[in-house]
A and B are shown apart, each in its own frame.
Chain A
Amino acid sequence: MKRKERLINIGIYICYAIIIMAFLFPLIWIISLSLKDLQNLFSVPPEIIPKDPAFSNFRKVFDQSNLGRYLFNSVKIVFFTVVGTLIISVPAAFNFSRLRFKLKKSMLFGVLIFQMMSPLIIAILLFRYFNALGIQDRHWSLILIYIAIEIPFQTWLLKSFFDSIPESIDEAAEIDGCTKLQTLTKVILPLSAPGLASAIIFAGIHGWSQFIIPFVLLDSPDLYPVAVGILNYQSTVETISTHFLAAASVISIIPAVILFITMQRFIIGALTAGAVKG
């Protein structure tokens, strides 16, 4: 029996190793490419760990592309998107959690449709409107749309966090003389700090990945966020600068990956609640 148990454990560890390799290898390979020089790039057999890692690639890619600019743009757009989304979603989610009214179910369903809908569907017409108004090539007009796209998900997510806080706490706060708004900002929000943290992280990761809206709306390369900038960069590089494309890709995912790894516990909880579309 003991031997069988040990065999099962070894079997599970082998599965672990296979899973980790299968999912990490494409990433390991791109990191490896990003550390090669021109000679190394075409060496046979390919070196997974370059003997003489060319860290200078990372500096060069900043020099010869607009990557720094793209990163800055992404940070800026994502920051305002997160703030705007929360300001709008928090009170709405609080209402959905606490109020009972006739149209509640239909409204929640309406919000859900928008959560599930591809941003491409609205991108086509928003492109026309924004062009007609002459506001297509601006960050703030992007942010308005990013917020709209993110609101439905955040409203559902925050509602589920508020649902987990008993209503008796609201009542106690009101007896102490709080208005509804004060109850929300002074009592409920501090209690839902972990929920807010996951909301912020999700909004951040979604915003960082947002692609079609800026791709369609922006004309000036100087305004591109990372996802669009890197696609643009990909179309300009040749095989002989694969290592630069790899370095740029590595840099572009570092913020999201670090945020994810350090804040994983906030994400898993929300994901496992099934509140996420994936």
Chain B
Amino acid sequence: MLLSRKNKRFAFFLPMVVWLLVFLLYPTLDLIRLSFKDIGFVTEGTSGYTFENYTQLFQHSDFYTILRVTIIFVFFSVLFQMFLGFVLARVMVAGEDRGLVGTVVVRTSVLIGWVIPGVVVGIIWNLFLTESTTGILNYWLNAWGIGRLPFLSDPTWALISVTVANIWRGTAASMIMQYAGLKVLPNELHEAAVIDGASFIQETLYVTIPAMKPVLYTNLVLITIKTVNTFDSIIALTGGGPGRSTEVLALSAYLRVFRQFDLGSGAAIAVILFVINLVMTLIYSRIIDFEEEKGRAA
């Protein structure tokens, strides 16, 4: 009786399980399988399984260009999102503690970038940075005597531009997470630091940041996953160009499969992307587990 009742309760899971299996798990496994096949865009080669897609990918220097672009894009995006997120959160908490007005306005301004669709983020930054006469940033740089800069047509500048646009969009998430982390820090920590005569910078480095470790780790992993998967803003901002200078892993998988109709190498890249997502999720689950254990102990 009890057992059957419990089994009935499992029916609550049924729609979710069906949906996830059909639309997420099956296509993912099938993608991994196909990445080991010699395949055309719509037809599936009949020959057996092969490592061809991967070996060809690794032999091609293009792949290392893409990897390099991805690493630079992700590293600097994450670095600045964490850093700016922390600074912004710290300033906002300081302002709130002092009862200053305007904190909500600050928070809202930062968060707006986060609700805008990635494609539109790309368009907005494109219009802001454009080298045509309508671009305001280049007008200013010129007026200040720095001269016009090739934000979207020079490979290095283009990579900087897509990274800055992504930082603009993603800082909000880090800010909010770290803001929440700062808010729950016990006040005694601050008091102890003051009594010990720590300066603001010393307190931040030796008291605040160590106490925020779990929050910072969570933040780091979540925005890394998010950034690795980002490519919608890049499509609208540079389209991956000039050349391949802003073609990150995810964008490359898309371009190969849907523009160059090269399903083999596209699937291989998508599988690499999946493995990165999987590993990061494992790390993340370790961190939240760790926190749960701690919560239980307390």
Binding site for B on A (CB under 8 A): 8-9, 12-13, 15-16, 19-20, 23-27, 29-30, 33, 41-42, 44-46, 87-89, 91-92, 94-95, 99, 101, 107, 109-114, 116-118, 120-122, 124-129, 131, 144-145, 147-149, 151-152, 155, 180, 205, 208-209, 211-212, 216, 226-228, 230-231, 234, 239, 242, 245-246, 249, 252-253, 256-257, 259-261, 264, 267-268, 271-274, 276-278
Query: Which residue of B is nearest A267, CB measured?
Result: B111
Shortest distance in angstroms between A80's beta carbon and chain B's nearest beta carbon? 14
Label chain A's interface by main secondary structure: helix
Contact with A along B91-109 (1 / 0, CB 8 A): 1001100101011011111
Contacts between the two chains (Cβ within 8 Å), count: 265
Contacting pair B9 A95 (CB below 8 A): yes
18 residue pairs A–B, Cβ–Cβ below 8 Å:
A25-B128, A26-B168, A44-B133, A88-B16, A113-B278, A120-B270, A122-B23, A124-B266, A125-B28, A151-B16, A227-B117, A227-B119, A234-B236, A242-B127, A249-B127, A252-B120, A260-B112, A276-B173
B88 CB within 8 Å of chain A: yes
A46-B136, A260-B115 in contact; A13/B20 too (CB < 8 A)? no
Taking CB atoms, residues of chain B closer than 8 Å to A147 are 19
When chains A and B are docked, how far (Å) is the Cα of A239 from the Cα of B134? 8
Taking CB atoms, residues of chain B closer than 8 Å to A148 are 19-20, 22-24
Shortest distance in angstroms between A273's beta carbon and chain B's nearest beta carbon? 8
Contacting pair A92 B236 (CB below 8 A): no
Shortest distance in angstroms between A240's beta carbon and chain B's nearest beta carbon? 9
Contact with A along B165-179 (1 / 0, CB 8 A): 000101101101101
Taking CB atoms, residues of chain B closer than 8 Å to A264 are 108, 111
B152 CB within 8 Å of chain A: no
Q: Which of A89, A253, A276 contacts B117 (CB 8 A)?
A: A253
Contacting pair B118 A121 (CB below 8 A): no
Beta-carbon contacts under 8 Å, B263-283 to A: 263, 266-267, 270, 273-274, 277-278, 280-281
Query: Which residue of A is nearest B177, CB measured?
Result: A274
Q: Which of B6, B20, B34, B118 contacts A211 (CB 8 A)?
A: B118
B240 CB within 8 Å of chain A: no
Binding site for A on B (CB under 8 A): 6, 8-10, 12-13, 15-16, 19-20, 22-25, 27-28, 30-31, 34, 42, 88, 91, 94-95, 98, 100, 102-103, 105-120, 123-128, 130, 132-134, 136, 139, 143, 168, 170-171, 173-174, 176-177, 179-180, 183, 215, 218, 222-223, 225-226, 228-229, 231-232, 235-236, 250, 253-254, 257-258, 263, 266-267, 270, 273-274, 277-278, 280-281, 284-285
Taking CB atoms, residues of chain A closer than 8 Å to B270 are 120-121, 124
Contacting pair A113 B277 (CB below 8 A): yes
A15-B91, A92-B16, A148-B24 in contact; A271/B176 too (CB < 8 A)? yes
Shortest distance in angstroms between A58's beta carbon and chain B's nearest beta carbon? 16
